[in-house]
Amino acid sequence: MNKSILGLGLASFLLTAQSPVRVASPAVCEALADRLANSVMRVTVAGGSGSVTSLGADSCTFKNLELDSGHIAGWTADRVTLTSPGIAASTPGSIPKVLRADITGIRFSVRVDDSHARYLNAAVQRPFDIHLNYEWDDEAHQLHVREATLESPWIGRTSLSADLDVGGSKDGFNGRIQDRGITLRRVHFVLDNRAIVEAMMLPALVGSLPKDKDPAVEFPKIQRLIEKEVRALPASGANEASKDALIRFVRDFPHPTGHFEETVTFDQPISLDELTTDKKGRWLRKARIEAAYSPTPAAPAS
């Protein structure tokens, strides 16, 4: 997935990470978003005359939000709503242990002095939404991501939930999990692809390959390695139906269709570093997997 999109989701996730949460006015609310966005995404929140913020006892809402990267490209969002019980009355400097972020009407923004380019950029865009919901467990020192969803009626939907152990300070949740040791216990992933893989995920995957590696060669090699690992899984790791679903899904890349759903559980939590750098899929040997895939049949030619 595009790093800017991930950054946008993380910005909502950590929105109170470095700012006071006793918000007394819309101006303070804007400053809160600006500071966080600048620290997480290296952008600034450009309010402008069209930007409106409002604050309730449990929520803060931004409208017509513009994220300015300082370069030619940025993002806009029609509405951002952050909800956390008692957020307005929280102790200054504290981080909400329960937070829901809803970002709707997200669009890619290009600032160019060319009316044709501006028109085409606006005309071809289809807005999408991001929803994030997390809960921090102080006693277990775990972060429960209840929902992290990116969706649009035009490109489809991808969603995950996860349970993570967060290492580092024992002083409680301070929002700075990116600098800590993080291990994954369970992840549930759902994909309803219309164009979300091709439009958002595939560019990021291609970008992760070295420049001297041809994706047309490397991706089939990775697919074969993963299929080999899946076939070698013991029955305790995945039943035959789950193996068949995984293999069919991997074979359909980069154009999966229909509905895919997968739950991966680790008896011994696995580090995110190991999970993201293992391109041969050896982490599968440490997992228990349940998967289902219902591809959409190709429509007959008319």
For residue 152, what pLDDT is reported? 94
- Say what the pTM is: 0.78
Query: If we measure between CA atoms, which residue out of 220, 234, 221, 230 comes closest to residue 291?
Result: 230
For residue 283, what pLDDT is reported? 84
Query: If we measure between CA atoms, which residue out of 172, 165, 130, 129 comes closest to residue 147?
Result: 130
Task: Give average pLDDT by consecutive 10-residue segment, the chain, 302 residues.
Answer: 46 41 47 48 44 65 71 76 73 67 85 80 85 88 92 94 78 53 91 92 88 94 92 93 96 95 93 78 87 82 52
For residue 299, what pLDDT is reported? 59
What is the total residue count of the chain?
302
- Check if the beta carbon of residue 32 is closer than 8 Å to that of residue 16: yes
DSSP state string for 222-273: HHHHHHHHHHT--TTT--HHHHHHHHHHHHHTT---SEEEEEEEEEEEEEHH
Angstrom CA distances, 132 to 14, 76, 162, 188, stand at: 11, 18, 12, 14
The pLDDT tens digits of the residues spanning 24-34 come to 345 545 554 55
